[in-house]
Amino acid sequence: MPDSPQHVTGRFATPAAARAAMSRLEAAGFDGDAVTLAGLDQAVSTKQAANDADLEATGDVAKGAAAGIGIGAAGAAIVGGVAGTVVAGPAGTIAGIGIGAAAGAGIGGFYGGADKLSVNEDAWVTYELEATEEHPIEVVVRVTGRDDAERARAALADTTTKGSEAPGTGSGTTLD
């Protein structure tokens, strides 16, 4: 078992304070892969989960579009056939059916697919965090030894940047 901590965690009350701490960690030489965020109110999906959701939504849209194409083509073909017969006689019937089917397929496909488009409301909420309002966030730094742990603690605890207050100063920063 190593004699040093494997992670150092800083808790920040605002996203601005967490962002400032991450900038200090980068300036202290920590790679972005060693820094993670925790404690966000909104869950951020993994790439695979996002891909699965996209494939499911695409399938739903395709099924809706296919149904719309069939219904639109059939309905508009009937209307077009009747209109063609009335306007131009038997020759107009064939033309009316063809034009009606094509127009109905296009319109039905559009509305059938658009009806199945999903909106992920949580995706919008993810970006609505107000940087100056309280949203407890943890910045977790993976460290490899005591020296790294001390550098990370110093970067997370630092509340000044070039003599001026950093965003989030006094925002309840704590360290583990």
Summarize pLDDT for 154-176 with one digit per residue, the tens.
898 874 433 333 433 333 444 44
pLDDT at 64: 87
Cα 25 from Cα 8, distance rounded (Å): 11
CB atoms within 10 A of CB 7: 13
- Nearest CA-CA partner of 59 in 109, 120, 113: 113
110: Cβ contacts below 8 Å, ≥ 6 apart:
65, 68
pLDDT at 57: 78
pLDDT at 135: 67
Helix (H, G, I), strand (E, B) or coil at 2: coil
pTM, full prediction: 0.41
Cα 60 from Cα 66, distance rounded (Å): 10
Element containing residue 100 per DSSP (H, E): helix 90-114
Amino acid making up residue 54:
D
Strands, DSSP E only, in the chain? 7-12, 35-38, 137-142, 160-161, 164-165, 174-175
pLDDT at 170: 35
pLDDT at 2: 52
pLDDT at 42: 53
CA angle 37, 40, 44 (to 5 degrees): 80
Residues of the chain with pLDDT under 50: 1, 43, 124-128, 159-176
Element containing residue 110 per DSSP (H, E): helix 90-114
pLDDT at 78: 93
Cα 2 from Cα 145, distance rounded (Å): 8
Do residues 117 and 64 lie in contact, with contact meaning Cβ atoms separated by under 8 Å?
A: no
Cα 115 from Cα 105, distance rounded (Å): 15
Radius of gyration for the chain, computed over Cα atoms and rounded to the nearest angstrom: 30
pLDDT at 45: 55
